[in-house]
């Protein structure tokens, strides 16, 4: 996985760039939460569930089905609370959640992502992997390899994210 905070970059940059009229604060914060949600599955290690199990890390919470159904459920339950149109809520939450698995698929380590659960437990990577996989232990961020992880996330996630955000902000300001 990229660092959990880096998963928040996609909804944050998109939401701030599009502005509160399209992505109100509550919707933005829900998008951030959904972008980080799949990695709750690391708790499975505490229960002795293996990495390769469908309930293990990068298992069902990283699947396409999960990325389609959970946003749908959020929209059905919280549409009025979000204060945005049905289309914007669903699109933003789906992109936020799906971005998690897509980012995981371009990391350089761990097992791939179970995109096709429940039809298949096969793990997939993208054809290219550029983001250095993040360590599970916080202390390892203070080593040379930890610094490389942070540098690769800045380069491959935050830099493109902030570029898109700046473009969207500029487009709104130019109107
Ligand atoms: Zn993940």
What's the CA-to-centroid distance between 92 and ligand 1, angstroms?
19
What SS3 class is residue 73? Answer: helix
Average pLDDT over residues 153-163: 96
Q: pLDDT tens digits for 122-153?
A: 999 999 999 988 877 777 767 777 888 899 99
Task: Tally the residues of the chain.
Answer: 175
Q: Which two tokens stand for residue 167?
A: 């473009």
What's the CA-to-centroid distance between 73 and ligand 1, angstroms?
20
Q: What is the pLDDT of residue 2?
A: 67
Average pLDDT over residues 7-28: 97
Q: What is the pLDDT of residue 140?
A: 72
Tell me the pLDDT of the chain averaged across its residues: 92
What's the CA-to-centroid distance between 74 and ligand 1, angstroms?
20
- Tell me how crowded residue 136 is: count the other CB atoms within 10 A of its CB: 11
Q: Is-contact 11 96, C-beta < 8 A?
A: yes
What's the CA-to-centroid distance between 106 and ligand 1, angstroms?
11
What's the CA-to-centroid distance between 102 and ligand 1, angstroms?
9
Q: pLDDT tens digits for 95-104?
A: 999 999 999 9
HSE-CB at 125 with a 13 A cutoff on CA atoms is: 14
Q: What is the pLDDT of residue 117?
A: 96
What's the CA-to-centroid distance between 163 and ligand 1, angstroms?
24
Residues that place a CB less than 5 A from ion ligand 1: 1, 38-39, 104
Q: 101: alpha, beta or left, given left = phi > 0 and alpha = psi -120 to 50?
A: alpha
Average pLDDT over residues 11-37: 97
What's the CA-to-centroid distance between 10 and ligand 1, angstroms?
14
Give me the percent of the chain exceeding a pLDDT of 70: 98
pTM of the model: 0.91
Q: How confident is the model at residue 1 (pLDDT cuts 50, 70, 90)?
A: low
Average pLDDT over residues 74-95: 94
């Amino acid at each position: 996985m990229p660092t959990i905070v880096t998963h928040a970059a996609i909804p944050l940059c998109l939401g701030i760039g599009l502005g509160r009229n399209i992505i109100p604060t509550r919707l933005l914060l829900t998008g951030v939460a959904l972008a980080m949600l799949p990695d709750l599955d690391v708790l499975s290690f505490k229960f002795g569930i293996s990495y390769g199990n469908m309930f293990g890390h990068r298992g069902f919470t990283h699947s396409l089905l999960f990325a389609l159904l959970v946003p749908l459920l959020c929209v059905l339950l919280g549409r009025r609370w979000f204060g945005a149109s049905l289309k914007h809520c669903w699109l933003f939450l789906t992109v936020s959640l799906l971005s998690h698995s897509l980012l995981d698929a371009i990391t350089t380590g761990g097992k791939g992502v179970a995109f096709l659960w429940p039809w298949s437990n096969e793990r997939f990577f993208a054809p290219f992997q550029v983001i250095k996989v993040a360590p599970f232990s916080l202390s390892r961020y203070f080593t040379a390899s930890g610094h490389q992880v942070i540098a690769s996330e800045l380069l491959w996630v935050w830099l493109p994210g902030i570029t898109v955000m700046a473009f969207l902000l500029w487009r709104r300001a130019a109107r």
